[in-house]
Structure 1
Amino acid sequence: MPHFLIVTVGLYLVLIAAPAVGFAQLTIDADSQYRYAQSRLDSGAVDEAIAEFNRFIHFFPADPRVPRAHFQTGMAHFSAGQYQAAAAIFNRQTVDFTGSPLDNQAYFMLSRSHARQGMIERAILDLHNLVALSSASEVIDRARYELGWFHVDQGRWTDAEQAFGHISPDNQDRFQVADLMQALAHSDAIPVKSPTTAGFLSIVPGGGQLYCNRYQDAATAFLINAGLIWAAWEAFDNEQYALGSVISFVEFGFYAGNIYGAVSSAHKYNRDRITEYRQRLNQRRQMSLSLAPTPEGAALRLTVRF
């Protein structure tokens, strides 16, 4: 009996001590969680970074770094090419955390997220909203600079001039506004071809292609159409009406294609000239403003090409 009592007491003491020894609870603190989430983003493990930042936001909602954690989840989505998700986060950032240090950067990233989705008008509207809301000249001028390049990408030369021209005098040298305005002044000199004229000249097969400087296409169109017209004429002249009708039907298709091709050539010529002009403008785009994640949040990088 005494031995049984001793064993029973011993087992009871072991069971009491077990939770403290073998089942100690794992606790995390805000600093450790945030550092780990940031380390995942720095290493490029964006999915893990998103999960860890969301975990930080869930467990530490009162921490002053919550706005930054939200922003970093947006940056992680953006770097992963998940632009729709990034836009949703940055849009929420501009609404829920107005006045935070990253408020302006959220507007820029919201604009870029929309632009990457092909929503250029939304991207432009985001920057206009930022210009209207911000009182900092540096932020406003940077927004106008990016607005100008959106307009350049869309071929809206006058709008681009206006955006660049509204950059404040103090920052015009920094953004090389004088050079940009001089280059944009030549937009009227972009050589273009009239699609209407190309179609009219194609009354003579190949004439429209010749007008658009597509000499090989012009020769091909002329020879094919001339050959079919001659063949149809010969068939009718020899009273081979069925054959002549078939050849005429085929020739009608080639003739219509000759006109359509000339009009398309004019549009392609204009598109190519505009692309060349835009590429020359982009050579003046020496400043590249971008955000990069850092352990403290995000850094604005300015890259200047020499």
Structure 2
Amino acid sequence: MFRFLTALGVTLVLMAAPAGGFAQLTIDADSQYRYAQSLLDSGAADEAIAEFNRFIHFFPTDPRVPRARFQTGMAHFSAGRYPAAAAIFNQQTVDYNGSPLDTSAFFMLSRSHARQGMIEQAILDLYNLVALSPGPAVIDRAHYELGWLHVDQGRWTDADLAFGRISADNQDRFQVADLKQALARSGAIPVKAPTTAGLLSIIPGGGQLYCNRYQDAATAFLLNAALIWAAWEAFDNEQYALGSVISVVEFGFYAGNIYGAVSSAHKYNRDRVAEYRERLNQRRQMSLSLAPAPEGAALCLTFRF
């Protein structure tokens, strides 16, 4: 029975085949690369990776193979798989030859590390690129990226120094004067001293009032005052057990009032720094992208006006 079914299946396949034999599906390099790129452009990262890898496998001598590898890194990056992206970009920086593609790999390697929270490594990546002396335009771009990495960490002085290293020819393009002027205002960021907030909380609500948290200040003052009054009344009426319980509860609220005031000062400072950083980020006018080109790839800097 099995042999009969097998023979029947083969017969049906032969009957369905064209007279000249089986039609063969051929894949050419251009079509395969365009298909992989279209998947990446549409946001289908995993499918794009598979198709770029297929392109690399079937056409290993094609001059677009390095760019295909780079695009697999971009696909991993867009999918949030930053370690995988970093591994690919790092491999492309090993034999750096100054090409736009290898330069882009350095920038994307730095960004991949930054997205993982590896800021120091991201900074080192850019310094490594500068050490290779790829050319003034790329070096200036690296210093610009370094400046923003320092901004993201709240290192205003380091950011100012990085932006200041941009060559005179490109300072207008990168709006260095405006950035340095904005960074000069970092010393005017309003701050609240956590120690002062804690000391002022000796009077319940005083620390919160110092941190401009008026509703929290009123709540802390009224709650602690009510518990202190209740404990006083209990002891005054010789209800020592009740007074002791209320006193223990009040001690917890009183300590929480001090802790909350110190936390409020830290939060106030974080919020002010975040607001300042956000205003600075509005000046981040450039984005890095890689555009396909007939002979490889072109590094594009996009400005927002």
Q: TM-score normalised to the size of structure 2?
A: 0.87
1:182-228 Cα distance to aligned partner (Å, 9 max, x none): 11111111111100111011111111111111122112111111111
Q: Quote the residue 1:231 is aligned against.
A: 230
Tell me if the contact between 2:228 and 2:250 (Cα under 8 Å) persists in the aligned partners. Answer: yes
In structure 1, what is the equivalent of residue 286 of structure 2?
Answer: 288
Instruction: Output the CA distance in 2 between the equivalents of 1:272 and 1:85.
Output: 33
CA distance in 2, matches of 1:127, 1:180: 20
> Secondary structure of 1:22's match?
coil
Change (3 A) 1:68 1:168: same
197-206 vs 19-28, greater mean Cα deviation: 19-28
Percentage of identical aligned residues: 83
Q: What is the count of residue pairs matched by the alignment?
A: 289
Matched residue of 2:20: which SS? helix
Counterpart residue identity of residue 75, structure 2:
A
In structure 1, what is the Cα distance between the partners aligned to 2:268 and 2:35?
54
Contact 1:289 1:300 in 2 (8 A): no
Offset of residue 125 of structure 1:
1.7
Structure 2 match to 1:168:
167
Q: Is 123-132 or 194-203 further displaced after alignment? A: 123-132
Distance 2:181 2:249 in 1: 52
Q: Which amino acid aligns with 2:179?
A: L
1:149-164 → structure 2 map (5 Å cutoff): 149-164=148-163
Aligned to 1:123: 122
SS at 2:192 equivalent: coil
1:198 aligns with 2:200: no
Q: 1:242-273, CA deviations, whole angstroms, 9 ceiling, x for partnerless residues? A: 00100000000000000001001100111111
Amino acid of the structure 2 residue aligned with 1:288: M
Change (3 A) 1:241 1:44: closer
In the alignment, residue 257 of structure 1 is paired with which amino acid?
G
Structure 1 residues 97 and 61: alpha-carbon distance in aligned structure 2, compared to 1, 3 A threshold: farther
Q: 1:46 aligns to what? A: 45
CA 294–135 in structure 1, closer or farther in 2 if over 3 Å, else same? closer
Structure-to-structure mapping, 1:270-281, within 5 angstroms: 270-281=269-280
Q: Does 1:241 align with 2:240?
A: yes
| Alpha carbons of structure 1 residues 105 and 46: separation in structure 2 relative to 1, 3 Å | same
Cα distance change, pair 97–19 in 1 and its aligned pair in 2 (3 A) = farther
Secondary structure, aligned partner of 2:287: strand
2:101·2:298 contact (CA, 8 Å) conserved in 1?
A: no
3-state DSSP class of the match of 1:213? coil
Question: Partners in 1 of 2:41 and 2:237 — Cα distance?
Answer: 82
Deviations 1:85-117 (A, max 9, x none): 211111111125645441110011111122222
- Contact kept? 1:291, 1:298, Cα under 8 Å: no
Residues 64, 294 of structure 1: CA spacing in aligned structure 2 closer, same or farther, 3 A cutoff?
closer
Tell me how far apart the structure 1 counterparts of residues 49 and 216 of structure 2 sit (CA, whole Å): 55
Alignment of 1:14-53 (within 5 A): 21-23=20-22, 25-53=24-52
Post-superposition CA distance 1:23-80 (Å, at most 9, x none):
3544434334333323333343332221121112122222222111111111222223
* Unpaired runs of at least 5, structure 1: 1-14
Q: C-alpha distance in 2, partners of 1:123/1:151?
A: 11
Output the CA distance in 2 between the equivalents of 1:204 and 1:42: 61
Deviates more, 1:287-296 or 1:266-275: 287-296
Contact 2:287 2:303 survives alignment (8 Å): no
Within the alignment, does 1:95 sit opposite 2:94 as a pair?
Answer: yes
CA distance in 2, matches of 1:284, 1:44: 28
User: Which of the pair has more CA radius of gyration?
Assistant: 1
Secondary structure of the corresponding residue to residue 291 of structure 1: strand
Distance (whole Å) between structure 2 residues aligned to residue 237 and residue 42 of structure 1 = 78
1:32/1:304 Cα in 2 relative to 1: closer, same or farther (>3 Å)? closer
Paired amino acid for 1:252: F
CA 1:145–1:232: 2 relative to 1, 3 Å: same
